[in-house]
Structure 1
């Protein structure tokens, strides 16, 4: 289905960024990937995932062992060739497996504004998953459950939950899934340590985000290695192990709960959420609550209606009324994750996947996902759901650490990737320059390719993005020449 471009909307350029220096925004690029034509093409990637030591996070690590009882849950939105390759992998590792296929009906074609309805229905679904996992754990039916690629998981259980972020062939055949697990662990740990000691945090992005908050001591335990158990037990009483630390591949850039001293202030702005692009939107934040939403096209209009409906409602877990409260700024850590091109914004092949690329921050607001507070609100028949803004080129400064101000992310570059110890570890697996280089950085006119941000992109980023992906997929060498940096420097093809 080819979308028709909308009439351009007029938006002011991102505040303070009318003269963005080229060095402040990373050069656009995307990887060259060979077309997958057979199940055999997918097997090496599944084999790598199957051998990775188990990790309770977003990057897939199944650690399959002979004789294990494994449940794989997929849907009719998954490519049948992908499911077949997964089944052959389960058989190869001699596990006792069961595959369940859910019929979700026709595969939808998304627009960015569809995130509102998606997460109004998705949140109850995630709660059901948590309940089902608990029941299966109590019954002792399986050793591992492999399904989904977002949301929290049960961490303090015998049964191990793992991910299946493999919707299309292109999402499987990616270096992200052969990237060394030991290196992923080290990058996650570096990032967690780098931000935990901050006294305050300053988060910016060239699309207009400028946000500050205090990293209160009360968020943390005494040595700032884990979140304060008092608040974790209130928010995740049955899943404390998940709540008190980061999820691998998903580092909490701020705690996923609120305390009375909340003081997040500033602006969150962007053009992308977990589903698809939308016209540029700004959200103004006071004491970690959204007070005003500007722009955003239909996405912004839907959010404004939700805000008006819920702004005077006192929600469990929040210290001021209203559903529209900011609680998440999570950091991706895998440099090889890329936005899928074929069939993008269809079904589960959407913006959710790309948030795990190193240096991307996704903002979350609304009810706190799968928390006790969210479930309590559901029992009270309150409107629940949460929504997102992606920051593709953020700068995250951990201010006032014992070593002074520390850059955790700089212009979309996760600084763990430049750390000498991380680079020495990478040398054990290959060329560190290649391993620790982001394979995909989106192109945005006026930011990192020629053009005018407001005229050519901000009013209808969906049309530009779909065109970009189409050209990159069909004419990759040409695309790489088209996005060459000023002065003729051509991005390296992969």
Structure 2
């Protein structure tokens, strides 16, 4: 099996290159999912909140679909940035008139005006943080069935204890030991959102979905306390992140990030990365603890806001002050320089005695309902366990 130069010869696996017919098949699978997620209706008033760095082909794809559905005048607002922390006043009249909104802007999920438009007017929203390049339609994650993804999310939702107090606990082999004290009302608030219901199609009043499917939903976020800034959530312990957005490589040093009552009070370590994180994070608040769910999302691509691969966590921190490191390193980042996502790939997460993630493996992938749903789309092992890097 070795030639005269000592090189291996032979082949034990099928060739990786797709046939032209397979590429066509894959493309139309992605197009179908795209058109179904963007559930635009003929009577919709479509608004796209875009930015100057968004692939213009993405804009054309969305407006083209809208026109094919009978929307004659989809409106595009092109901003110089995605980093709006609140909805700009100049955008509000256009937003108020819309019924279907597609956005790249950071403020989309938490801005009070945007929330009110969804709650009171039933606006349907799609956030396209992970659809900034039309060529992403050629990737496996773009053709992963949203119905199956929804089943994975619902399988995870079923693991939360209901109607009682419990601790949501995070650990790993580096020494992470973080606990969130949760009660039944907090879980009810979290799981009533459209994302936790596994609704991947933007066809329900007030929905907020991500495309490419999907980013989150979050194992914890401030919707648990109805986004009440006065509530201090009992989040205590230490996290040893493996990586963070804006850093070229994973951390070599074990860097402890210490939380006390949902705030970061200390960052240890002596490396340059630890020094940067210390200046950045101390005083910051954990506002979301997101989890990946798409088995075909690249596991180790954490830009721009964490990996969407199953069981990968991102600890979303709102910073106490704008960070110059972020301004230098990522001046055109999709998020403002007052936020940071810390990443772990190998966490174990428990809700009381229920293991939700086991050393980075999302256990809902083994839920019988998830497996049954996966077999309707093909090889369940390949679909759920064959994760791309």
Is structure 2 residue 43 aligned with structure 1 residue 78? no
Is structure 2 residue 139 aligned with structure 1 residue 188? no
- 1:127 is aligned to 86
Is structure 2 residue 94 aligned with structure 1 residue 136? yes
Is structure 2 residue 372 aligned with structure 1 residue 424? yes
SS across alignment from 1:212? strand
Deviation of the 1:289 alpha carbon: 2.8
Counterpart CA distance in 2 for 1:195 and 1:209 is: 21
Counterpart CA distance in 2 for 1:149 and 1:333 is: 22
Deviation of the 1:412 alpha carbon: 1.5
- 1:168 is aligned to 133
User: Please, what TM-score do these two structures have when normalized by structure 1?
Assistant: 0.55
Q: Is the 8 A contact 2:155 2:369 kept in 1?
A: no
Counterpart CA distance in 1 for 2:343 and 2:17 is: 24
Deviation of the 1:91 alpha carbon: 4.1
- 2:315 is aligned to 363
- Residues 122-146 of structure 1 show CA distances to partners (whole Å, capped at 9, x for unaligned) of 3xx13126x66654343x2x32121
Q: Is the 8 A contact 1:46 1:89 kept in 2?
A: no
- 1:398 is aligned to 351
SS across alignment from 2:240? strand
Q: Is the 8 A contact 1:73 1:147 kept in 2?
A: yes
CA gap 1:100/1:326 in 2 versus in 1, 3 angstroms: closer
Counterpart CA distance in 1 for 2:214 and 2:61 is: 25
Q: Is the 8 A contact 2:235 2:261 kept in 1?
A: yes
Is structure 2 residue 34 aligned with structure 1 residue 64? no
- 1:51 is aligned to 35
Q: Is the 8 A contact 1:188 1:249 kept in 2?
A: no
Q: Is the 8 A contact 1:362 1:391 kept in 2?
A: yes
Q: Is the 8 A contact 2:347 2:360 kept in 1?
A: yes
Q: Is the 8 A contact 1:208 1:270 kept in 2?
A: no
- 1:377 is aligned to none
Q: Is the 8 A contact 2:214 2:308 kept in 1?
A: no
**Number of paired residues?**
320
- 2:256 is aligned to 282
CA gap 1:249/1:196 in 2 versus in 1, 3 angstroms: farther
CA gap 1:65/1:266 in 2 versus in 1, 3 angstroms: same
1:76-155 matches, cutoff 5 A = 76-96=52-72, 97-103=74-80, 122=83, 125-128=84-87, 135-138=93-96, 140=97, 142-148=98-104, 152=109, 154=115, 155=118
Counterpart CA distance in 2 for 1:161 and 1:389 is: 26
| Greater RCO, CA 8 A, separation 6+ | 1
1:148-297 matches, cutoff 5 A = 148=104, 152=109, 154=115, 155-156=118-119, 157-164=121-128, 165-197=130-162, 199-217=166-184, 219-221=186-188, 226=192, 249-256=215-222, 257=225, 262-276=233-247, 277=249, 279=251, 280=253, 281-295=255-269
- Residues 247-280 of structure 1 show CA distances to partners (whole Å, capped at 9, x for unaligned) of 9742332242578674333221223234444634
User: Please, what TM-score do these two structures have when normalized by structure 2?
Assistant: 0.67
1:424-463 matches, cutoff 5 A = 424-441=372-389
Counterpart CA distance in 2 for 1:329 and 1:367 is: 15
Q: Is the 8 A contact 1:255 1:328 kept in 2?
A: yes
CA gap 1:255/1:78 in 2 versus in 1, 3 angstroms: closer
Q: Is the 8 A contact 2:33 2:146 kept in 1?
A: no
Q: Which runs of 5+ in 1 are unaligned?
A: 1-31, 53-60, 105-120, 228-239, 309-322, 342-349, 369-382, 400-404, 442-494
Counterpart CA distance in 2 for 1:274 and 1:262 is: 25
Q: Which runs of 5+ in 2 are unaligned?
A: 1-15, 194-205, 321-335
Deviation of the 1:161 alpha carbon: 1.8
CA gap 1:159/1:134 in 2 versus in 1, 3 angstroms: farther
Q: Is the 8 A contact 1:278 1:297 kept in 2?
A: no
CA gap 1:161/1:241 in 2 versus in 1, 3 angstroms: closer
Q: Is the 8 A contact 2:263 2:286 kept in 1?
A: yes
Instruction: Name the Cα RMSD after superposition.
Output: 4.0
SS across alignment from 1:190? helix
